[in-house]
Amino acid sequence: MFRMVMVGFGLLVVFFVYRFNSDKARPTAPIKQPLKKPTISKVRDVGKERKVALKRQQKIVRLENAIGLSPMTLPAKDGQQWVKVRIEPLVKRCQVGDYDLIGLDQSYHKKPNIILSLEDLSQPGASRSNIKPVKLKDLKEGFVHRFPLPKNLDHGHFGIFLCQDSSRRGYCHNKKLDSMSGLLDWHRDAVAGKRAYPRKDRIYLFQSFLKDGPMAKMIDHTVMDAKHYKAMAKLIKLRQGGSGSNQAAFSAKSHRQLGSIPARMDGDTMIITIPRNDPSCKIFGLL
């Protein structure tokens, strides 16, 4: 009898231990967290930001249309973008061209050093490595060169220069801006003994463009007036911040003084024309 009681008691203990462990292992129901609804003020802030962004983009489009920009796709590979430039000679009969005037100016320099440069007009002097040394023969025959653009830069205002760089500092933006036709007058006066020819590092050619993501947007300065440059200053400020007025003023002055032929586009290539006189035609005043 005692043995049966002990067996029954043992079974009862086993039963309670089993129930205890089963209850412990049973997963508890997840606690439901109330969903947080966005506050009205946050919804209004997002809507306001979208409206501001939309108005900004609409203003940019209006300014670009007012300036008359011509887009060109930039060549790119593995995250690197380039500006592909082709220097193309243009022979004209009995007309003095930029090539003739550059050669004339170079004849007065003891250390000729022509460079073709790509420079960030928002940070003058910051792109010293973006240059290509050029000889007169290169300008006469033409050539193609690719300038790498800074990585991770969506928007920018750039200038392509051709200049004499006696100091070999590797940039053109701070060189003398003179009328190209004035070089011929100085040469004639020097030959006649009226005055010495001014030997200075000077800019020979200038073309600017705006970088907009994968595109380069060319500026035709031959159709630009004060109203266009004002729109250009606003556009640069919207895109990049900082002083768009200074950059627009520099572009206006450079093109007004030099009178460079506007670049044209051919696919992903920017073509810069260098006119020159047909050598069979002798022009008075040119050696």
Tell me the pLDDT tens digit for each residue of 275-284.
999 988 876 5
Q: What is the pLDDT of residue 16?
A: 45
Residue 22 forms part of a structural domain = no
Closest CA to 139 of 121, 166, 112: 112
**68, 220 contact by CB (below 8 A):** yes
**Ranges assigned E (strand) in the chain:** 70-73, 76-77, 80-92, 114-120, 131-134, 143-148, 155-164, 203-212, 215-218, 264-266, 269-277
Q: Band the pLDDT of 133: cuts 50, 70, 90.
A: very high
Residue 13 has pLDDT above 90, yes or no: no
Range of the domain at 183: 71-277
Residue 15 pLDDT more than 50? no
Which of the pair, 163 or 256, is modelled with greater confidence? 163
182-239: pLDDT as tens digits: 898 999 999 999 999 999 999 999 999 999 999 999 888 887 788 888 888 888 888 8
- For residue 31, tell me if it sits in a domain: no
Which pLDDT belongs to residue 148?
Answer: 94
In a domain, 261, yes or no: yes
Q: Which of 123-127, 192-196, 265-269 has the lowest mean pLDDT?
A: 123-127
Rounded to whole angstroms, the Cα distance separating 264 from 30 reads 68
Contact 122, 240 (CB under 8 A): yes
Residues 156, 119 contacting (CB under 8 angstroms): no
Bridge-partner residues for 91, per DSSP? 276
Position with higher pLDDT, 239 vs 128: 239
Examine residue 238 and state whether it is found in any structural domain, yes or no. Answer: yes
Does 33 map to a domain? no
The pLDDT tens digits for 21-68 are: 544 444 455 555 555 555 665 556 667 788 877 888 888 888 888 787
- Could you tell me if residue 56 is inside a domain? no
Which pLDDT does position 128 carry in this prediction?
53
Taking a C-beta distance cutoff of 8 angstroms, is the pair 250, 121 a contact? yes
Residue 32 or residue 173, greater confidence: 173
pLDDT value, residue 32: 54
Residues contacting residue 259 through CB under 8 Å, at least 6 positions apart: 179, 180, 181
Is residue 249 in some structural domain? yes
Q: Is residue 28 included in any domain, yes or no? A: no
Q: What is the pTM of this model?
A: 0.78
Indicate the number of domains in the chain. 1
Distance CA 114, CA 176 (A): 14
